[in-house]
A and B are shown apart, each in its own frame.
Chain A
Amino acid sequence: MRITRSSSHHHKTTSKLADISKLNAVPLANIEKLDAVLAANIAKVNGLVFTTAGIPAPAAAYSVRLLDSALGVPTYTGAAMRVRRDTAGGAGDDDEADIAFDSGVISLDSAISNASAGVTATTLGQFLNVGTVAGTTYTNPDSLTVTASCLTDTWYDQSGNANDATQATQGKQPQIHDGTVNTDLITENGKPALQPFGNGDQFENASTGVTAQYAFGVVKTTNSLDSILLTGNSSTSIYVLAGVNGASFAPSDSSRVNNYYKNGSSYSPASADAVNDDTLNQTLYAIDMVGNAISDTIIGYPWSGSRCMYITQEIVIWNSDQSSNRTGIETNINGFFGIY
């Protein structure tokens, strides 16, 4: 392999490849392989350090934004999520559609595809008949008689492992739009968010499931519902990061978590109540479970109808130790969400 740089400096330098945004005019983010070697596995090119080397592809990656190689995610071209619109029995009720990323994040301008029969809307704003939002008027091609609320039944896995998070029960699906006319998607700190609106809301992973050794989540508690970040599917006692107002029990299964990190700093919550109190605003958690992994990971807690997922914007799970990459991963996540 030969890399030609356009400057006059043809000799090897100590410059890191991080300074190079493109190779042969192709953005680095779009380069999946070099000479058949996965980008995530390339530590150096001609002695130059590849900054994302060392961050392997996650086991599962769910987000309202399009993730990329900065988090070890191979190029992802699929939809962000699949949603169902609720028109309270009116026209178009319960139709579903995939929604795409719009400039790297879901929005009312997100294109829709793979929709139920009869749907002619082309954007999420049209699909929901939201009216006028931020100066943009969305037409109503499906002739809905109301503005639809929007529930998420699939949060697609961007990792390439097809561990899509699904929820097939209508009463347990989180919202991304509350059905109010002339209103944008539900947001936290200016970015879209999935919001549970009743206990029991959560996602169950499809496929073979995910083994979680290290997990990152951008979440916020509702304060009124009982929130759980992750649960193992093999035992009712395996839970991680409970945020429950007034609860004195441990924030996680005691043998499960080695270290918590909250907004980039070490964190030692005394109880689920403490986590709830510390998560009243958008928060980034990193959870080290190395050696105590949970398998068949679920977002939320399916074992009791009185628990649910957090208000959630991103969850990325690795099945390997990411201690050495934690700071870089947190920096990337915080860079997008602006949490702290």
Chain B
Amino acid sequence: MATVYLPVEATIPGMTSAERAEAIDREVWRLRRPLSVQSPNDVTQFYYPRITHPTTGQVAIVGQTDEEVKIHPDVDLTDLLALLPEVPQAEKDGLVMFIDANRGGTVPFGQLIPSTSTQLTQVEAEAEGWFTDPIEP
């Protein structure tokens, strides 16, 4: 699988990078398990791990571009789209059509990443200091 690091900008007023990343991650999970089928006691709420930059505090979602994300037939994209204000409307419309066409199926995560997102490979993320591992001597 190709790992991709998606640093999340704090571009929504009132939301930090960490809060926005958590909200987006929650909506990615809801592609697979929408609120309409979740139970109040569900513990699982997020799809992908998130990491915090050790110096800037920015948060990145750690996705897999070729992972097939299950799309539940009852998926609702309203909240996810609201978290992507920088994405052009035409691209949002295209995403809605793409998801609608794949309800009950799967889509590669890489095809869900907006064109406006910064995408870092493992090497690029390391170069930008995301992996200063405090355990290593």
For residue B50, which residues in chain A have a CB less than 8 angstroms away from its CB? 169
Contact A237–B42 (Cβ < 8 Å)? no
Chain B: interface size category: 20 to 34
Contact B42–A116 (Cβ < 8 Å)? yes
Contact B51–A304 (Cβ < 8 Å)? yes
Interface residues of B in 26-60 (CB under 8 A from A): 29, 32-33, 37-39, 41-51, 54
| Interface assignment of A306: CB less than 8 Å from any CB of chain B | yes
B54's nearest neighbour on chain A, judged by CB, is A236
Partner of A307, one of B29, B47, B54, B135: B135
Contact A89–B70 (Cβ < 8 Å)? yes
How far does the alpha carbon of A306 sit from the alpha carbon of B125 in the complex, in Å? 14
How far does the alpha carbon of A173 sit from the alpha carbon of B38 in the complex, in Å? 18
For residue B134, which residues in chain A have a CB less than 8 angstroms away from its CB? 236-237, 303
How far does the alpha carbon of A166 sit from the alpha carbon of B42 in the complex, in Å? 11
Contact A170–B43 (Cβ < 8 Å)? no
Contact A169–B49 (Cβ < 8 Å)? yes
Binary CB contact string for chain A from 234 to 272 against chain B (1 if under 8 A, 0 otherwise): 001101001000001110000000000000000000001
| Interface assignment of B137: CB less than 8 Å from any CB of chain A | yes
A-B contact pairs, 16 of them (CB 8 A): A96-B39, A96-B43, A114-B41, A116-B39, A153-B43, A153-B44, A168-B46, A169-B47, A170-B29, A170-B46, A170-B47, A239-B135, A249-B137, A304-B51, A305-B49, A305-B62
- Total inter-chain residue pairs, C-beta < 8 Å: 79
For residue B62, which residues in chain A have a CB less than 8 angstroms away from its CB? 305
Partner of A242, one of B44, B45, B46, B135: B135
Partner of B32, one of A94, A95, A200: A94
For residue B137, which residues in chain A have a CB less than 8 angstroms away from its CB? 248-250
Partner of B43, one of A168, A171, A237, A305: A168
A271's nearest neighbour on chain B, judged by CB, is B137
For residue B136, which residues in chain A have a CB less than 8 angstroms away from its CB? 249
For residue B106, which residues in chain A have a CB less than 8 angstroms away from its CB? 89
| Interface assignment of B133: CB less than 8 Å from any CB of chain A | yes
Contact B49–A200 (Cβ < 8 Å)? yes
| Interface assignment of A25: CB less than 8 Å from any CB of chain B | no
Contact B49–A173 (Cβ < 8 Å)? no
| Interface assignment of B131: CB less than 8 Å from any CB of chain A | yes
| Interface assignment of A123: CB less than 8 Å from any CB of chain B | no
Binary CB contact string for chain A from 107 to 120 against chain B (1 if under 8 A, 0 otherwise): 00000001111000
How far does the alpha carbon of A305 sit from the alpha carbon of B33 in the complex, in Å? 24
How far does the alpha carbon of A224 sit from the alpha carbon of B48 in the complex, in Å? 21
Chain A: interface size category: 35 or more
How far does the alpha carbon of A96 sit from the alpha carbon of B42 in the complex, in Å? 6
| Interface assignment of A220: CB less than 8 Å from any CB of chain B | no
Contact A305–B51 (Cβ < 8 Å)? yes
Minimum Cβ distance to chain A for residue B3 (Å): 8
Binary CB contact string for chain B from 5 to 30 against chain A (1 if under 8 A, 0 otherwise): 00000000000000000000100010
Contact B46–A169 (Cβ < 8 Å)? yes
Q: Other than the known A94-B33, A154-B43, A304-B135, what 16 A-B pairs have Cβ atoms closer than 8 Å? A: A93-B32, A96-B41, A96-B44, A114-B41, A166-B43, A169-B46, A170-B46, A171-B49, A172-B49, A239-B135, A242-B135, A249-B135, A250-B137, A304-B51, A305-B62, A307-B135
Listed from nearest, the 4 A-B pairs whose CB atoms lie closest are: A153-B43, A116-B39, A169-B46, A236-B134
For residue A272, which residues in chain B have a CB less than 8 angstroms away from its CB? 135
Contact B70–A93 (Cβ < 8 Å)? yes
Contact B133–A304 (Cβ < 8 Å)? yes
Binary CB contact string for chain B from 105 to 133 against chain A (1 if under 8 A, 0 otherwise): 01000000000000000000000000101
Contact A168–B49 (Cβ < 8 Å)? no
For residue A95, which residues in chain B have a CB less than 8 angstroms away from its CB? 39
For residue A305, which residues in chain B have a CB less than 8 angstroms away from its CB? 49, 51, 62
For residue A153, which residues in chain B have a CB less than 8 angstroms away from its CB? 43-44
| Interface assignment of A82: CB less than 8 Å from any CB of chain B | yes
